[in-house]
Structure 1
Amino acid sequence: MSVRNRFGTVAAIALMTTAGAVLLSACGPDNSDPGSTAASSAPGSAAPGTAGPGGGSHSGSPAPGGKEVNGTSAANHLTISTGTKTVAMNGTAVDFGTVVRDLAWSPDGKKVVFVNGDGDLLTANPDGSGKAVLAKAPSGEAWSHPTWQHADKGPSGNAVPDETERYNNIVFASSKGGTLRLEQVPAKGGTVQELTPHNSEGGDAAAEPQPPQTGNTWANAGGKQAAIAYANTPANEVYIYDDYIRPATQDIGKGSQPALSPDGGHIAFVRSVDGHDHLFSRSTDYEQKTEKDLTPSATTDYTEPAWSPDGKTLAARTPDGVSTLPADGSAAPTQVSTIKGLPSYRP
């Protein structure tokens, strides 16, 4: 496992399998994993500026003059979900009225998708209103880390058919009986189906090995043609699945928690190096396999990367909050928030 377990005894007791640990450990602050029953039922619905799970303020640290500072603003598009009812965004804390885990944004930034305290998949407006249950998790099944798959609408007359609606889906990880799989549901609602990354069969692709169907988690959509990055836990490998033209699965290499850039040209992921979790990146081009360690001098752990809408900045979770760094690795990370949660960017 490339990301070391730093999430405390509550999560450790609650998680009975390695697969479950990877699925849930990334969701919440130390000692308050929101994927666990203890955290979901705990007084985690802290009001803005009050202490929540893991300690600290969900609205950041007070600055001179009483202004709340949490590293988010309308200008930088950064949002942070902590497994409580409040989500940090636009320099404040938005109360969703329900537990919000693993929040992700729609391609147009007008909707969010998340897993609530009951483990169900919900969508809502950015201010927490308009909540709708997209799908209810079956008994004994845990869902996590949804992402909004999408494809750009092609121009009229383009030889490539308009796939916008076909790829308007929510892809997420499901854990049942210790087995991890990727599943998907139309963003407008419908039937949950298993997502099975694979390679084309027949022709030159006949000899291509098929990727594993179980152990898959941490899906992340990116680019303009519905590509999905994901991690396979048993193999400790990162993959990219793309079936826009023909099904093809690209093995990126060792790592976890992948994130595709907005243009789909690069992928960031996590890999353990000398006792710390580092951020790496590489091109998604098949012919360009060179990796770059973005945090070569890391003295802490950088996990759960997220790309800014312009593709120039990466945000990452650390044990002390959230840090950002240039996506090209030209500067060291800088802590921007003391909030311990999952960073994401609103398009």
Structure 2
Amino acid sequence: MISRSRRNLAAFTSAASLAAGLLGAAAPGAQAAPNDITGGQISLYGGSTGVETVNADGTGLRSVPDIPNFGYTPNWSPDGSRVVAGWSQLATGRVTGTSSVVTLPWATKVRSSASYEDPAFWLDGQYVVFTTAGQLVYGPSDGSWAPEPLLTGAQEPSTVCDTHPTAGASGTLAFERRSGGCNDSPGIWTYDPDTKALTKIIASGSSPVFSADGSKLAFTRSVDGWTQLFTAAADGSGVQQVTTDPSDHLAPTWDPAGGRIAYEAHGSHAGSSDDVQTVRILDLASGTSTQVTGAGRGARPAWQPLRKNSLVRVYGSGSIGIDGAASRWTFDTSGGRHVPGLVAARSAVLVNKGNATYSAPAIALAAEKQGPVLMTSGSGLDSSAAAELKRSLPKGSTVYLNGGTRILGSKVASQVQALGYKPLRLDGTDLSALSARVAKQISATPSWIFVADGNEYHDPIAASTAAGALGYHGTGVVLLTNGKSVPSSVRNFLNTLNPKTTNMVTVGYNATQAMEHAPLDKVWNFWTIGGKTHEDVAVNLARFWWSAPTQAVVEDTWTWQNAVAGGSASATYGPMLWSSRATLSAPAAYYLGQEAASIWVVQTFGGNTSYPPANRTAIGSAIAASSAWTSTYWAANGNLPAPAAAAPQSRVPALASPGSAARPTAVPTVVPGRHLPARDAHSAR
């Protein structure tokens, strides 16, 4: 599938769009492709020292301390933030000195147990693809489920040997195939993840690698007893030999800026007849090569790509509040010109701007009913809410009132009706009853239920945002307990459901305690999400629910209005994290760092006081090679400045996985540090 991607998120000077190969024509204000990505360090396999990095001019050779001794065949994520490497098992980590190693699970369903080789990040960093025993295998870059074979048995029979996968910017995968076994002559094939088609593009060649813009391939071929470098177009046409000297040229890697190829050299250079191993760089324009490392130093070079990731700050100004800004960030103007990337609002949800906990269920409701969450006074419809209703919503549409008349008075309903909309009040005797009423409005038979304690807003908002990730499908709801007890309204709703077909997740300690002791008619098995702080709970929920997301939202832990507005606008796109104001909270920083290979944009909702410079710098450092490689965009009232107002969409992968790109499997794999206990770990009767 191709995920819904906002006009605004796709507009950031083609950062991820370039890596995804979807830049048809340059967006207004966007740079040309060569300026969007540049080359950084070169990673090497240093033998006993593990992964090493060196500058292209040969200076700065050093070992990477956080990923020692598993560094065979290192490779970079598309933004240069993380390295993947390994041998008996793969792991990813940063090279900046921050500890955030992620060890990928063992592969399942593979032909045989063998070493893991040739890892490469794929589809904008969401996946890692590698080979084992001549078989292509892939899995999420954050290890959220176990890698498994990429190709079917018919596509990859046991007689073939596939190695050296390389990811193209358009999503195409190229690899080396030996059709008669691993000792046969190699050719280069491609795999299209959209059509699932395999194509042989070069009859004789090995070790293919795409250029950063996806337009070219470099590969090797044996000529007169020496392994020489060749280049070709991405489709295999226009093959050219680019080296002729009497030496072996192995493991080519492109300079991300273009025009140069680094490689592992064996044999004579500059008139020497000695058989030495070095890393060299070939300048394609001049045909000359220069030595990077000393004799016998370095193998399997990989050139770091550096590209800009994005931090977006959505905020209101003047008469437009954060709810209006979030709505404009997401929804088209009704009756106006469609803006690519935005969606048409089909409904809206009104909440009391002074009541945090009653607002939490509105996030999942708005995500399901495809509309904004707007805030108003309880005594009457605020002019700002009325203005945004008229801007975004066609007349005759339903406007949900989240709460009884003591939360949103009867005058609010009459004013909504006077504007030409259909007010539908969702009421309940208390907050738990309201959550059950909202859940029924979403679906009488949801697939996923998130349970949180309604006595405080942090866990309910995080839970409702996760439920909203299933938006437009009517399958995710949030139910709120009263501390450690489950009120009758929630029990009655649960008793109408089938625990065998309905998944439950408890979010926070109180919710878990409530469900473990609830007097229910049926036995429920459920996952538990815990943590010492609300920041921990949100991160653990993100790890459980999302697999290598491309986007995330950081919310000011003290301003629930920002979180409700932002959660409803972003729920279908990525996880929500809580952070303190002064700087990025440690759990959020650690999570973003571990997910940096795939996350290329972080959104925040609210003004300067919620996210001061230190906080923004920490976010930039977490998701990119450094904070210098994150651009900040100010979306006042939900709108980016005009030069970046339109751009191509960013690709999100379309692959069959054990679960889906947005949620875990029906029975989650137990991976230490990644998933919570399996379903049968907790039950309630």
Shared fold (TM-score, shorter chain, > 0.5): yes
For residue 232 of structure 1, the aligned residue among 177, 200, 219 is: 177
**Match of 1:5?**
none
Note closer, same or farther for the CA distance 1:333–1:84 as it changes in structure 2 (3 Å cut). Answer: same
Q: Tell me, yes or no, if structure 1 residue 222 matches structure 2 residue 173.
A: no
Q: Tell me, yes or no, if structure 1 residue 181 matches structure 2 residue 151.
A: no
8 Å Cα contact 1:105/1:112 also seen in 2: yes
**Match of 1:294?**
242
User: How many Å apart are 1:127 and its aligned residue?
Assistant: 3.3
Q: Tell me, yes or no, if structure 1 residue 107 matches structure 2 residue 83.
A: no
Q: Tell me, yes or no, if structure 1 residue 322 matches structure 2 residue 268.
A: no
Q: Tell me, yes or no, if structure 1 residue 194 matches structure 2 residue 149.
A: yes
For residue 303 of structure 1, the aligned residue among 250, 253, 261 is: 250
User: How many Å apart are 1:246 and its aligned residue?
Assistant: 5.6
8 Å Cα contact 2:250/2:265 also seen in 1: yes
Note closer, same or farther for the CA distance 1:75–1:227 as it changes in structure 2 (3 Å cut). Answer: closer
User: How many Å apart are 1:290 and its aligned residue?
Assistant: 2.3
**Match of 1:34?**
none
**Match of 2:533?**
none
Distance 1:253 1:329 in 2: 26
**Match of 1:132?**
102
Distance 1:137 1:80 in 2: 25
Larger Rg: 2
Q: Any idea what SS the aligned residue of 1:135 has? A: coil
TM-score between the two structures when normalised by the length of structure 1: 0.62
Structure 1: segments with no counterpart, 5+ residues:
1-73, 152-166, 200-209
8 Å Cα contact 1:169/1:186 also seen in 2: yes
Distance 2:230 2:43 in 1: 22
Distance 1:195 1:133 in 2: 20
For 1:108, give the aligned amino acid. Answer: D
Distance 1:136 1:76 in 2: 31
**Match of 1:334?**
290
Note closer, same or farther for the CA distance 1:329–1:278 as it changes in structure 2 (3 Å cut). Answer: farther
**Match of 2:128?**
170
Q: Alpha-carbon deviations, 1:158-206, whole Å to 9, x = none?
A: xxxxxxxxx721000101xxxx11100111221211011899xxxxxxx
Note closer, same or farther for the CA distance 1:303–1:279 as it changes in structure 2 (3 Å cut). Answer: same
**Match of 1:8?**
none
**1:228-307 matched pairs, under 5 angstroms:** 228-233=173-178, 234-244=184-194, 247-285=197-235, 289-296=237-244, 298-307=245-254
**Match of 1:149?**
122
Q: Alpha-carbon deviations, 1:10-58, whole Å to 9, x = none?
A: xxxxxxxxxxxxxxxxxxxxxxxxxxxxxxxxxxxxxxxxxxxxxxxxx
Distance 1:75 1:182 in 2: 28
Q: Any idea what SS the aligned residue of 2:100 has? A: coil
**Match of 1:66?**
none
Distance 1:198 1:252 in 2: 23
8 Å Cα contact 2:130/2:165 also seen in 1: yes
For 2:302, give the aligned amino acid. Answer: S
Q: Alpha-carbon deviations, 1:71-91, whole Å to 9, x = none?
A: xxx975222222333413351
Q: Alpha-carbon deviations, 1:53-75, whole Å to 9, x = none?
A: xxxxxxxxxxxxxxxxxxxxx97
Distance 2:54 2:293 in 1: 11
Structure 2: segments with no counterpart, 5+ residues:
1-37, 179-183, 267-276, 306-685
| Greater strand proportion | 1
Distance 1:248 1:236 in 2: 15
User: How many Å apart are 1:241 and its aligned residue?
Assistant: 1.6
Q: Any idea what SS the aligned residue of 1:101 has? A: coil
**1:85-124 matched pairs, under 5 angstroms:** 85-86=49-50, 87-90=52-55, 91-94=60-63, 95=65, 96-116=67-87, 119-124=88-93
**1:36-115 matched pairs, under 5 angstroms:** 76-86=40-50, 87-90=52-55, 91-94=60-63, 95=65, 96-115=67-86
Distance 1:137 1:82 in 2: 25
User: How many Å apart are 1:266 and its aligned residue?
Assistant: 0.7
8 Å Cα contact 1:171/1:182 also seen in 2: yes
Distance 2:238 2:219 in 1: 14
Q: Any idea what SS the aligned residue of 1:229 has? A: strand
Q: Any idea what SS the aligned residue of 2:203 has? A: strand
For 2:241, give the aligned amino acid. Answer: D
For 1:174, give the aligned amino acid. Answer: T
User: How many Å apart are 1:346 and its aligned residue?
Assistant: 1.0
Q: Alpha-carbon deviations, 1:297-346, whole Å to 9, x = none?
A: x11111100011112210010122111112x4531322222223111111
Q: Any idea what SS the aligned residue of 1:309 has? A: coil
User: How many Å apart are 1:245 and its aligned residue?
Assistant: 5.2
Note closer, same or farther for the CA distance 1:256–1:285 as it changes in structure 2 (3 Å cut). Answer: closer
User: How many Å apart are 1:222 and its aligned residue?
Assistant: 2.3
**Match of 2:633?**
none
Distance 1:250 1:198 in 2: 18
Distance 2:157 2:243 in 1: 30
8 Å Cα contact 2:106/2:147 also seen in 1: no
Distance 2:137 2:156 in 1: 16
Note closer, same or farther for the CA distance 1:197–1:89 as it changes in structure 2 (3 Å cut). Answer: farther
8 Å Cα contact 1:258/1:267 also seen in 2: yes
Note closer, same or farther for the CA distance 1:285–1:229 as it changes in structure 2 (3 Å cut). Answer: closer
8 Å Cα contact 2:135/2:156 also seen in 1: no
**Match of 1:62?**
none
Distance 2:226 2:217 in 1: 20
8 Å Cα contact 1:83/1:102 also seen in 2: no
Distance 2:176 2:152 in 1: 11
User: How many Å apart are 1:98 and its aligned residue?
Assistant: 3.1
The sequence identity of aligned pairs, in percent, is 27
Q: Which is bigger in relative contact order (C-alpha 8 A, separation at least 6)?
A: 2
Q: Tell me, yes or no, if structure 1 residue 346 matches structure 2 residue 316.
A: no
Q: Any idea what SS the aligned residue of 1:84 has? A: helix
Distance 1:147 1:329 in 2: 27
8 Å Cα contact 2:259/2:285 also seen in 1: no
The root-mean-square deviation of aligned C-alpha atoms, in Å, is: 2.6
Distance 1:140 1:212 in 2: 17
Distance 1:113 1:99 in 2: 10
User: How many Å apart are 1:212 and its aligned residue?
Assistant: 6.1
Distance 1:301 1:188 in 2: 36
**Match of 2:26?**
none
